[in-house]
Chains A and B, each alone.
Chain A
Amino acid sequence: DAKTTQPNSMESNEEEPVHLPCNHSTISGTDYIHWYRQLPSQGPEYVIHGLTSNVNNRMASLAIAEDRKSSTLILHRATLRDAAVYYCILRDINNAGNMLTFGGGTRLMVKP
């Protein structure tokens, strides 16, 4: 799977939007973009995924650049419970087994 690059950490104020960037310049046409997050002392949890178009769900929005070389996870209104490590992962559509390779992720800190 192609690699992703994320900032090590980011800080946000409570109730403000947060934009978490991810670079994946070597993405292939068959790579899905997945986001997971890991709250303190818990296992990772799925947040959102997309292929080409922007995606919205109850947790977040995913904005994908037109050339697909980068994407941004958007939390519309950060809460203290959103403090976590956020992982951007590429998964090849031909990877029928759904194997995921986790990088270092971005540690999001939310200030009250």
Chain B
Amino acid sequence: DAGVIQSPRHEVTEMGQEVTLRCKPISGHNSLFWYRQTMMRGLELLIYFNNNVPIDDSGMPEDRFSAKMPNASFSTLKIQPSEPRDSAVYFCASSFSGGPTYEQYFGPGTRLTVT
């Protein structure tokens, strides 16, 4: 398996622009997570899906952020409009919640820079 795939790997955009981050989870996994990592706040869970349904979005910072999972093999995280404080590395992770370890597999991340 190729693991969790994220695109783009790097994104540089100007303040006010819309940004869309993409994630393809590992085939067969039924849980998907979006995290954000910054030096100041560390690794934060933004939202979590189970069987394509958003279960907990309490970590989404504000209405400018939205996430969707239209099917089991694809998810997006959208920021509109983007702001410089959104600059961070965004990780997507997936897991199989029925497995023995509940291990989460992380993608390589998308480094977002908003100028």
Residues of A within 8 A of B (CB): 32, 36, 38, 42-46, 49, 87, 91, 96-105
Residues of B within 8 A of A (CB): 4, 31, 33, 35, 42-45, 48, 50, 55-56, 91, 93, 95, 97, 101-109
Contact assessment for A99 and B43 in the assembled complex, using a CB-CB cutoff below 8 Å: no
A97's partner among B42, B44, B50, B103 (CB-CB below 8 A) is: B50
Chain B residues in 8 Å Cβ range of A99: 33, 45, 48, 56
- Secondary structure call for the A interface: loop
- Secondary structure call for the B interface: strand
Contact assessment for B101 and A46 in the assembled complex, using a CB-CB cutoff below 8 Å: yes
Q: Which residue of the partner chain B has the closest CB to A104?
A: B42
Contact assessment for B101 and A97 in the assembled complex, using a CB-CB cutoff below 8 Å: no
Chain A residues in 8 Å Cβ range of B43: 38, 44, 87, 102
A61 to chain B: closest CB distance in Å?
16
Contact assessment for A98 and B95 in the assembled complex, using a CB-CB cutoff below 8 Å: yes
The CA-CA distance from A42 to B89 in the complex, in Å, is 10
Chain B residues in 8 Å Cβ range of A103: 42
Contact assessment for B102 and A91 in the assembled complex, using a CB-CB cutoff below 8 Å: yes
Contact assessment for B109 and A43 in the assembled complex, using a CB-CB cutoff below 8 Å: yes
